[in-house]
Chains A and B, each alone.
Chain A
Amino acid sequence: MDNKKSVLDLVKQYVNETAPINATEKEKKKMIDAQVILLLRV
């Protein structure tokens, strides 16, 4: 993944763009974890 964002970075970017505006960092972390777990089944 040289010169590329890691998959975790991509998930973080997605959560940052789609999370409710007032979501706390802790809530965002939970959302990131949940999205990563979703990737398991893909």
Chain B
Amino acid sequence: MKKQEKEKKYMVSQKALKKTLEERKTRFITTSNLQEPDRVPILSQINAYAIGFCNKTAWDVFEDPDLERECYRKANEAFYFDGLSIFGLNHPFKSYFDVGSETYLVSENGVTIQHKESSHMDADEYDEFIADPIPFIANKTAARKIPAFDKDYPENYEALKKLFNSIKDFKQNGAENRKYVLEEMGIPIISSRSAPHPLDNFFDFIRGFNGTLIDIRRHPDKVEKAIEVLTPYYEKSIPSSKEDAFPWLFSTCHIPTFLSKSQFERLYWPYMRRCLMAANDAQTKYMALLEGTWEQHFDLFEDIPKGAFIACIENDDIIKAKKRFGDRMTLAGGMPMSMLKYTSKQECIDYVKRIFDACAPGGGFIFTTSIPPLTTEDLNVDTYRAVNEFAHEYGKY
């Protein structure tokens, strides 16, 4: 083929890709404005699953960004999707392992990357933490969990420098991945940045699962104060001026499923509501992964501004949630991961039909799995492919 013809063909395909990208973006924007788009948008939550899908291990992709990109592309193009929640690893895990951290681990299957429960603060250290969290986090929490920092100077400094530089490179790679997905795959990533909740980070990385949940019951005042002093360091994630309507602000909510209604209302909801309202004021939206069961907290959603919130449902009844909140917020979900593994193609399709009939009318609905697939054993490929193809067709308004 002559050079000119090749260039022309490339321009035509780029134009088509751009058109597809705009159509897909419009689906998400329209449905989140509680209006009916042309089709129900279908969201991918594929993460480390992509690595297993390509018969690779996490170790293979850790130091090969091109291979990582290839795996995520292949896995996401194996099924029909209108948007991605993530593209690529969500942490520079190898750099964490290099400094001896055990916060994460690669499972025996070589694919799934897990967070390991740990505590790096004792129950009697709240006053010290509250007095000044930054020295505490550096000299206690980080010093306890990162063995490389315990080496002699300047060896420990070299380790820290290498770690920070690799985090910087990882962010740069993430930005390049984002550009690649938009320009080469014609598919949007639905969030622009993450707004973690200080209590989730305290729970995940400082006091740990057991410690935090015990402390909340034994001395909630101290936990409340600890979150209060930690909050200013998280506020830069909250929008402070007008932003693009899409992509959205995103948060993964870990601890609420373990909290009672009153604990949630006191320790979690104020900051979550603040993120939500700030996103709304900035004319974008706040999307949150409601891990576990949230029905006990749903009363608080009653005063959320119309169209401000996109809730990804895991274990709650999405049809019930649609009946209650369908006129004010978008619900994402509808496909229990376990069904993709353990039930037949037809049973899954019948289930999807029932979900779409209840949740699609009026917009405010994004079809996705209840949780991200983490390993190839989580789902049956043929079933998932058939489900998304059916959803794409049946989801036509």
Contact = CB atoms under 8 A, between A and B. Distances in A.
Given A1-B143, A4-B153, A10 B160 contact: yes
A16 B134 CA distance: 17
Interface in B71-128: 91, 95-96, 99, 101, 103
Interface stretch (B52-60, B144-152, B210-218, B348-356): B144-152
Given A4-B153, A7-B149, A37-B233, A42 B96 contact: yes
A8 B152 CA distance: 15
Nearest to A38: B167
A38 B152 CA distance: 22
A5 B205 CA distance: 23
Nearest to B92: A42
A33 B137 CA distance: 10
A39 B103 CA distance: 11
Contacts of B161: 14
Contact of B156 (A10, A35, A38): A10
Contacts of A4: 150, 152-153, 156
Contacts of B149: 7, 10
Nearest to B163: A42
B75 to A, nearest CB: 25
A5 B150 contact: no
A32 B167 CA distance: 15
Contacts of B142: 7, 36, 39-40, 42
Contacts of A7: 138-139, 142-143, 146, 149, 160
Nearest to B232: A33
Q: DSSP class of A's interface residues: helix, strand, loop or mixed?
A: helix
Contacts of A33: 134, 233
Interface residues of A, number: 23
Given A1-B143, A7-B149, A14-B164, A39 B137 contact: yes
Nearest to A11: B138
A24 interface: no
A21 to B, nearest CB: 18
Interface string A22-37: 0000000000111111
Given A1-B139, A13-B157, A42 B134 contact: no
Q: DSSP class of B's interface residues: helix, strand, loop or mixed?
A: helix
A5 B156 contact: yes
Contacts of A38: 164, 167
B141 interface: yes
A14 B233 CA distance: 19
B91 A41 contact: yes
B206 A40 contact: yes
B201 A40 contact: yes
B156 A42 contact: no
B183 to A, nearest CB: 29
A34 B234 CA distance: 9
Contacts of B146: 7, 39, 42
A5 B134 contact: no
B135 interface: yes
A29 to B, nearest CB: 9
Contacts of A37: 137, 233-234
Interface in B381-395: none
Contacts of B134: 8, 32-33, 36
A3 B152 CA distance: 8
A18 B163 CA distance: 14
Interface of B: 91, 95-96, 99, 101, 103, 134-135, 137-139, 141-143, 145-146, 149-150, 152-153, 156-157, 160-161, 163-164, 167, 201, 205-206, 233-234, 236
13 contacts: A4-B150, A4-B156, A6-B139, A7-B138, A7-B160, A8-B134, A33-B233, A35-B164, A39-B138, A39-B141, A40-B142, A40-B201, A41-B103
Interface of A: 1, 3-8, 10-11, 13-14, 18, 32-42
Given A1-B143, A7-B149, A38-B167, 11 more contacts: A1-B139, A6-B139, A6-B143, A7-B142, A33-B134, A36-B137, A36-B138, A39-B146, A40-B205, A40-B206, A42-B95
